[in-house]
Amino acid sequence: MAVEAVSAITELQAFSTIELLSIFRTLSAPSIAQMHGEYRAKLLAQPSLLAKLGGQLAVANPFIPWLCKAFRPVTAFEGRGYNTFLWRNHIIQRYPMKTRIALSRYDNQPVYQLVYRAYHSLCGDMYMVDELRQLSDTLYLGIGTWGLTKKQQQIPLPFVLEGAIANYRGDIGQERANFNW
């Protein structure tokens, strides 16, 4: 990891969820074509103790740590992706998603959007949607959401991505029949 990226990630870790959302609103969306490969992932400040515990259980779990999000363009308008985790010294892929440029639920401006509902998975069942904007050439600020209600789906869950650090490993997942953006 480059020294600049380490420094920037360390700085981001000092911000609250509200401050991270304010920063997010000042950034621009990367393009579909730009997002290709695996990007090292790290959770940032969460908005509540419950969200922090949920994040630690889901992706900061020491027994199966979250490593990356990965993406590849499919067309000029959409892409695919997945998350990677470390399980017993093996990298495993989980939680496939479709990607597109869409309007943010936080400021109605363009974001690189990750929609998990397109595929059968726990994240898809929980209506998870992530939004990305670019901080620098190699850093991306993400705001994740999930929930069964509109209110739950408005709670920002910040994370940061760095990269691309590796090649895309290949598509995974079974697409939901009749999926519609």
Q: Read off the pLDDT of residues 139-173 as tens digits, 9 standing for 90 and up.
A: 999 999 998 898 888 899 999 999 999 999 999 99
Which of helix, strand or coil describes residue 75?
coil
The pLDDT assigned to 62 comes to: 80
Percentage of the chain lying above the pLDDT 90 cut = 77
Burial of 120 (0-12, 13-18, 19+ CB in 10 A): middle
Residues 5-18 have a mean pLDDT of 88
Q: What tokens were used for 72?
A: 């590849």
* pLDDT confidence tier of residue 48, bands split at 50, 70 and 90: confident
Q: Measured between alpha carbons, how far is 98 from 100 in angstroms, rounded to an integer?
A: 7
**Enclosing domain of residue 38:** 3-166
Residue 175 lies in a domain: no
Whether pLDDT at 52 is above 80:
no
Residue 31 lies in a domain: yes
Residue 68 lies in a domain: yes
Please give the tally of structural domains in the chain: 1
**What are the pLDDT digits (tens) for 65-76?**
999 999 999 999
Residue 125 lies in a domain: yes
Among 59, 70, 115, 112, CA closest to 93: 70
Q: How many CA atoms lie within 13 A of 57 on its CB side?
A: 6
Of residues 123 and 47, which shows the higher confidence score? Answer: 123
Residue 54 lies in a domain: yes
Among 161, 156, 157, CA closest to 68: 161
Residue 172 lies in a domain: no
CATH number of the domain encompassing residue 122: 2.40.128.580
Query: What pTM does this model have?
Result: 0.92
Residue 32 lies in a domain: yes
Neighbouring residues of 21: CB distance < 8 A, sequence distance ≥ 6: 106, 143, 156, 158
Residue 178 lies in a domain: no
